[in-house]
Each structure stands twice: as C-alpha cells, then as structure tokens.
C-alpha cells in the first residue's frame, strides 16, 4: 500500500461519512438547504463550524462563477481543505544535517505519547537514522518499563533514571547522550498530565526551558499528542498546552477509531500548528507522516487513483 492508501485506510470511518456523504449530496440540485446539508456534514466530522461555514461560502461562490460544468466540486473542496494546513516542514526535514534533532512529546494522559515515541523511533530507524529514547515520564515505574520495551524491540538505547527523578534532568541527559554518541534523533517521552493542573504544566515549561537553555543550538521540536477521538476536547488541551510551552506541531492519534477525523482541519487552521504525524493503529508502522494534500484527498475523494 502507498501512503495515500494507508491514510485512506486509517481514515476509513471518517471518509465513509464525509467522502461518501459529499459525493451523494453534490448530485442534488443547488438550494439553500443543499448548502446547509453540506455544512452539517462537515461539522459532523469535526471540521469545525468556522471552517465548515467558510468552505460552504467558498463553494457557493465557486459554483456561481464556474462556467466549466466538468470541473468537480470535490476537487475544489479538497484543495480548500488542504490549504487550511500550515506548511512549515519538521526540523528533521528542514535541518537534516544538524543532530541530534530533539523531540519532546507532551499531552494529556493516555492519548498515545509513549506509543508514538516508539513508532517514531521505528520511523527514523527505517530511514537509516540512529535514535535514543528519553524516559522523562518518571511518575510511574511502569511508564519507564513501557519505553524500555520499545527500546528492546527496536534495538535503541533508553536513557532513564530512578522513579521520581527530575524529568528535566532525564531530558537533559538524553540530549547529552545523543550528542556524545553522535545519535541523529532524541525522542523524549513525558508523563501525561491534565491541562488544568497548573503545577504539572509548569513542570513541562521547566523541562523545555532546561533543554533549550543548556543546548540552545540543537533543532528542538515540541509536539503535542492529541487523541482524535476526543473531538473538540482536543481543542481545549491544545490551548492549555500552548500557553504553558511553545509547541511546534502536533500528532493526532487514534484516527482509525473515529469518524471525526476532520478534527485535524479544525486544530491546524485555528491554532496555525502543523500536523507532523497521524496515528492509525497500534503497530510499529501505524504512524504516518502528515501530508495535507493526501489527507484532504483521502477525506474527500478516497477513490482517486494517484499517478
Ligand atoms: N487504535 C489506536 N490506538 C492507539 C494509537 N496510538 C496509541 N494507541 C493506544 O492508546 C493506548 C495508550 O497509549 P500510550 O502510548 O500508553 O499513551 P500515553 O499518552 O503514553 O499514556 P500516559 O503515559 O499514561 O499518559 C495504548 O493502548 C496504545 O496502543 C493509534 O493511533 N490508534
Ligand atoms: Mg506514556
């Protein structure tokens, strides 16, 4: 399967609602009710009220000005959805020659941070990069064990300290180890935390600040991991985390389990934050690099043959 097919497969639930729904609706004659139905469909898949309303207004204008009846309105919708995503590339693509690229993973409990760290290690290893993992979730011994298991499975080192250790120190050690061993990528897991717990959010700010201050020249991404099945609640998580520390991108997990995969569109446009990867399952390979065009196409025109 190519990437487009894998995204389509991961988005199965959303695309059967949005893609099929749009194809059926677009066969109907145009009327105010028609545009309302399109808007409702977009909102139902969590594209967000603002984006839905904008898309429908743009579609209406486009159709009124359109004098080529052969042009497919689905292509127009796809292009508009793709345009809602910021395009800045991740640092591991923008600065591939500076190492270690460091990635700090943050997010609420159970969203899929540790699993994503493991999958991302696999992603980089498969591309010939060396990886080190940092177990900065020092709250629970089980959390460190979970990461060690990934490390063993993928044959990558895991930097850790004892339970209850300062997570900032672990993060710092991880980057130092990567520098000393000339490792390409350092991936740092952190403990899940509720966005409303101020002291825990302050701790993240501290971890981030420590790495940044001591090693100001390393390419440093801070990614928020969001569970896409949580819908609009993911918005509030993003807002709180963004206030606590400078995020550079997001990872949306569990897209395979929801028909509301339009949440990526809402989040990216409202917060102008690029999506780096999407999680579409629990296996090593179930983390796909995000491509706005392929994503929009998989949502809206899943049957497209790519040349
Ligand atoms: N279906 C599906 N399950 C996923 C995905 N990503 C993670 N999971 C599952 O979600 C559950 C929680 O994942 P973890 O990686 O432990 O989550 P976490 O954010 O590290 O959790 P805490 O450390 O407790 O905050 C596990 O059962 C994962 O297998 C995904 O993309 N799709
Ligand atoms: Mg975890």
Question: So what's the pLDDT on residue 231?
Answer: 83
Closest C-alpha to 48, from 205, 275, 270, 208: 270
How many angstroms does the Cα of residue 253 sit away from the middle of ligand 1? Answer: 8
pLDDT digits (tens, 9 = 90+) for 61-73: 999 988 777 789 9
pLDDT digits (tens, 9 = 90+) for 48-59: 999 999 999 999
Which residues contact ligand 1 via a Cβ below 6 A?
107, 109-115, 137, 143, 192, 253-254, 256-257, 279-282, 286
How many angstroms does the Cα of residue 159 sit away from the middle of ligand 1? Answer: 21
- Please name every residue paired with 224 in a beta bridge, in sequence order, or none if there are none: 106, 250
Would strands 185-190 and 220-227 be described as parallel, antiparallel, or unpaired? unpaired
For residue 143, what are the contacts with CB-CB under 8 A and spacing of at least 6? 114, 135, 137, 189, 191
Q: Residue 305 and residue 307: Cα distance in Å, rounded? A: 6
What residue owns the CA closest to ligand 1's atom 13?
A: 112
From 282, 284, 287, 288, mutation site for ligand 1 pocket: most ligand atoms within 8 A of C-beta = 282
Question: So what's the pLDDT on residue 6?
Answer: 93
How many angstroms does the Cα of residue 113 sit away from the middle of ligand 1? Answer: 6
Burial annotation 155-176 (CB, 10 A radius, 16+ → b, else e): ebbbbbbeeeeebbebbbbbbb
User: Is the backbone peptide bond immediately before 231 cis, with ω within 30 degrees of 0?
Assistant: no
pTM attached to this predicted model: 0.95
Using only C-alpha atoms, what is the Rg of the chain? Answer: 21
What residue owns the CA closest to ligand 1's atom 10?
A: 112
| 53 backbone dihedrals φ, ψ, rounded to 5° | -65, -40
Q: Residue 90 and residue 272: Cα distance in Å, rounded? A: 14
| 288 backbone dihedrals φ, ψ, rounded to 5° | -110, 135
Q: Which atom of ligand 1 is nearest to the CA of 189?
A: 20
Question: So what's the pLDDT on residue 288?
Answer: 96
Ligand nearest to the CA of 109: 1
Question: So what's the pLDDT on residue 306?
Answer: 62
How many angstroms does the Cα of residue 98 sit away from the middle of ligand 1? Answer: 30
Q: Residue 56 and residue 51: Cα distance in Å, rounded? A: 9
120: DSSP letter: H
What residue owns the CA closest to ligand 1's atom 6?
A: 112
Q: Residue 43 and residue 244: Cα distance in Å, rounded? A: 29
89: DSSP letter: P
Q: Which atom of ligand 1 is nearest to the CA of 279?
A: 31
Question: So what's the pLDDT on residue 1?
Answer: 85
How many angstroms does the Cα of residue 174 sit away from the middle of ligand 1? Answer: 22
Q: Residue 108 and residue 158: Cα distance in Å, rounded? A: 22
Would strands 275-279 and 287-289 be described as parallel, antiparallel, or unpaired? antiparallel
Q: Kindly give the parts of the chain with pLDDT less than 50.
A: none
Question: So what's the pLDDT on residue 214?
Answer: 85
């Amino acid at each position: 399967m190519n990437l487009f097919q894998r995204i389509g497969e991961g988005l199965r639930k959303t695309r059967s609602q949005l893609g099929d729904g749009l194809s059926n609706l677009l066969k109907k004659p145009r009327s105010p009710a028609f545009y309302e139905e399109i808007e409702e469909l977009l909102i139902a898949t969590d594209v967000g009220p603002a984006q839905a309303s904008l898309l429908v207004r743009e579609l209406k204008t486009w159709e009124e000005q359109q004098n080529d009846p052969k042009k497919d309105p689905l292509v127009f919708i796809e292009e508009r959805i793709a345009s809602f995503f910021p395009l800045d590339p991740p640092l591991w693509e923008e600065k591939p020659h500076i190492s270690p690229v460091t990635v700090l993973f943050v997010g609420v409990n159970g969203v899929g941070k540790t699993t994503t760290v493991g999958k991302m290690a696999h992603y980089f290893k498969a591309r010939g990069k060396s990886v080190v993992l940092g177990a900065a979730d020092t709250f629970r011994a089980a959390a460190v064990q979970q990461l060690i298991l990934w490390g063993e499975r993928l044959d990558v080192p895991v930097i850790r300290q004892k339970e209850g250790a300062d997570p900032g120190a672990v993060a710092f050690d991880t980057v130092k180890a990567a520098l000393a061993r000339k490792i390409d990528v350092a991936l740092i897991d952190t403990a899940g935390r509720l966005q409303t717990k101020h002291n825990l959010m302050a701790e993240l700010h501290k971890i981030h600040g420590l790495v940044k201050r001591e090693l100001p020249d390393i390419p440093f991404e801070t990614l928020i991991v969001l569970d896409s099945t949580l819908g609009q609640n993911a918005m509030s998580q993003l807002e709180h985390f963004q206030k606590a520390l400078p995020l550079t991108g997001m990872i949306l997990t569990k897209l395979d389990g929801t028909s509301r995969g339009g949440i990526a569109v809402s989040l990216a446009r409202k917060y102008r934050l690029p999506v780096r990867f999407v999680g579409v399952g629990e296996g090593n390979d179930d983390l796909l690099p995000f491509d706005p065009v392929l994503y929009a196409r998989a949502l809206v025109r899943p049957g497209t043959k790519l040349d």
